[in-house]
Amino acid sequence: MSAWGMHLSHSARRQVQAAAWLLILSGVLWIALGWMLNADDYSDPLRAWRHRVLVLHGVAAYLLLWIAGRLYALHQQGNWRAQRNRSSGLILSAALLLLAGTGLTLYYPPHEDWRNAFSLLHQILGISLMLLLPLHVWLGKRDRRQRQPLQRKPAPAQNLSVQKSS
């Protein structure tokens, strides 16, 4: 790590991946359960499972936002100053902020008529996170490989020993 940017340690990378995939999978499961749910049947047991998945999704969202906040000071600011992976990092950060904002708006809607629009936007952004996070990681690794100087392989050692003549 330098003052001008860093890449994540293995444990930090695993934390981000675990929280992000828990968030994504719980969101996709919530959507899928909604498709299977009969909106008029309040005795359907899927309704209770969908609520549990939504609670898990909310906890995972708080966890990912906490991790993103931890990363801001070193990873995001340092790499911004180093001008590394700026575009994908900015898009990923904007997507996370919009997801947090639309999630909050779904919980506290300014008007009930807007709920469906915010829900659709939230779902589209959430599904895009499945592409944005791996893309950001891949671009960062590609950039790091390009920055590393080409290392030359050492030349094979030459036998400089003197042979005795008979």
User: pLDDT digit string (tens) for 49-60?
Assistant: 999 999 999 999
Tell me, what's the pLDDT at 3?
Answer: 43
**Residue 4 belongs to a domain:** no
Residue 156 lies in a domain: no
Q: Is residue 2 part of a domain?
A: no
* Dihedrals phi, psi of 5, to nearest 5 degrees: 130, 160
The answer to the question of residue 155 being in a domain is no
Domain count, the chain: 1
Find tokens 């906040």 and name the residue: 69
Residue 157 confidence (pLDDT): 58
The pLDDT tens digits for 64-110 are 999 988 888 778 888 888 888 889 999 999 999 999 999 999 989 88
Q: Is the pLDDT of residue 4 over 50?
A: no
Q: Domain limits at 98?
A: 10-145
Quote the percentage of the chain above a pLDDT of 70. 86
pTM of the model: 0.77
Determine the pLDDT at residue 76: 84
Mean pLDDT of the region 16-30: 93
What proportion of the chain, given as a percentage, has pLDDT over 90? 46
Give 128 or 147, the one with higher predicted confidence: 128
pLDDT of residue 27: 95
The dihedral sign for the CA sequence 10, 29, 131, 121: negative
Beta bridge partners of residue 2, listed in sequence order: 5
For residue 141, being part of any structural domain is answered with yes
Residue 39 lies in a domain: yes
Please count the CA atoms within 13 angstroms of the CA of 152 that sit on its side-chain side.
3
Residue with tokens 């469906």: 116
Q: What is the DSSP string of the chain?
A: -BTTB----HHHHHHHHHHHHHHHHHHHHHHHHHHHS-TT-TT-HHHHHHHHHHHHHHHHHHHHHHHHHHHIIIIIHHHHHTT-SHHHHHHHHHHHHHHHHHHHHHHS-SSGGGHHHHHHHHHHHHHHHHHHHHHHHHHHHHHHHHHSPPPPPPPPPP--PPPPP-
